[in-house]
Amino acid sequence: MRHTLPIAPQFYVTAPQPCPYLDGRMERKLFTALQGEGAERLNDTLSRQGFRRSQNVLYRPSCADCSACLSARIRVNDFAPSKSQKRIIKRNRSMMRHSRSPWATEEQYELFRRYLDDRHADGGMADMDLFEFAAMIEETPIRSRVIEYIEENEDGSETLAAVCLTDMLEDGLSLVFSFFDPDLARRSLGSYVILDHIALAAEVGLPYVYLGYWVPGSEKMAYKANFNALEIYHGSMWKPLEDPDAFNNTVHPLSVDPIAEQVAKINLPGARPAHD
């Protein structure tokens, strides 16, 4: 099925498949290709409308009768770490951050495999081989970085503890995918990566850190609501997440606009806004 706007790009819809976040549900995505000299501008524009990047594709959930997945971002200037988050920062104060070009290594892949086997053994990436991993890291038409977190050992050697593929947007940093050493669970490295990206965004004067999707009712995504100054993209606009319990994941046949209406509401680079 294909839906088009009067000007490029073209938008498509995936076939339904089992939802990775909520049991017993089916997911469907609205997506478009990310390519050519206008790729960065398109990525910036659609990211502000709840889209996410995966290699050279931009996508947004468009499930037939469920609208639980909500794009989330943190307002950097308004963020203040909680007491537990301050402890996480202190616990990882010896961690070194290295920013690299998007180039995959065998060391990264080994850590990635250990992370998947421990945390997502039955997920969609479980069978990803080295070449597919390299494609995930390296196939990017926009400004991306691989942020590595290195722990220096007592003998002077270094251990790769966490990795995050990060996109550099016009208005923020977008965490495309992160993974970490499962043996260091007590270090809360998943949360630490987010906290460090907030600090990094502040250093370079970017107002937002994009976290992907927050899904009420999903244990995998629940941790994102622990960050204050969090906004969600809901009702075609960004809104503060003031009360996570106010959102639910109830399935309703009228909870999602028809695909054609969704596409018609998308603002493209250089186009007049389709809505306020």
pLDDT at 196 over 50: yes
Q: CB atoms < 10 A from the CB of 132, how many? A: 12
Structure tokens at 35: 């390519």
For residue 30, the SS3 value is: strand
* In the chain, where the domains are located: 76-210
What mean pLDDT is predicted for residues 215-225?
A: 86
Interatomic CA distance for residues 3 and 32, integer angstroms:
10
User: Which of 119-128, 224-233, 260-269 is predicted with the least confidence, judged by mean pLDDT?
Assistant: 119-128
Query: What top-level class would CATH report for the domain 76-210?
Result: alpha beta
Backbone Cα Rg of the chain: 19
What residues form DSSP beta bridges with 213?
71
What mean pLDDT is predicted for residues 187-215?
A: 96
Read off the amino acid at residue 269.
P
Interatomic CA distance for residues 76 and 274, integer angstroms:
28
pLDDT tier for residue 206 given thresholds of 50, 70 and 90: very high
Interatomic CA distance for residues 181 and 162, integer angstroms:
6
User: What is the layout of strands, in order, in the sheet containing 144-152?
Assistant: 96-100, 144-152, 158-168, 172-180, 208-214, 70-75, 230-233, 238-240
Q: pLDDT of 27-68, one tens digit each?
A: 999 999 998 889 999 999 999 999 999 999 999 998 888 888
pLDDT tier for residue 152 given thresholds of 50, 70 and 90: confident
pLDDT at 276 over 50: no
Q: Mean pLDDT score of the chain, rounded to an integer?
A: 89
pLDDT tier for residue 249 given thresholds of 50, 70 and 90: low
pLDDT tier for residue 250 given thresholds of 50, 70 and 90: low
Q: Which of 39, 227, 209, 31 is nearest to 139 (CA)?
A: 39
pLDDT tier for residue 3 given thresholds of 50, 70 and 90: low
pLDDT at 274 over 80: no
Provide the pLDDT for residue 242: 85
Interatomic CA distance for residues 130 and 169, integer angstroms:
27
User: Which of 4-13, 177-186, 238-247, 252-261 is predicted with the least confidence, judged by mean pLDDT?
Assistant: 4-13
Structure tokens at 106: 């065998």
Provide the pLDDT for residue 120: 63
User: Which of 140-154, 179-193, 255-269 is predicted with the least confidence, judged by mean pLDDT?
Assistant: 255-269
User: Which of 50-54, 252-256, 258-262 is predicted with the least confidence, judged by mean pLDDT?
Assistant: 252-256
Q: Are 50 and 212 in contact (CB under 8 A)?
A: no
Interatomic CA distance for residues 75 and 77, integer angstroms:
6
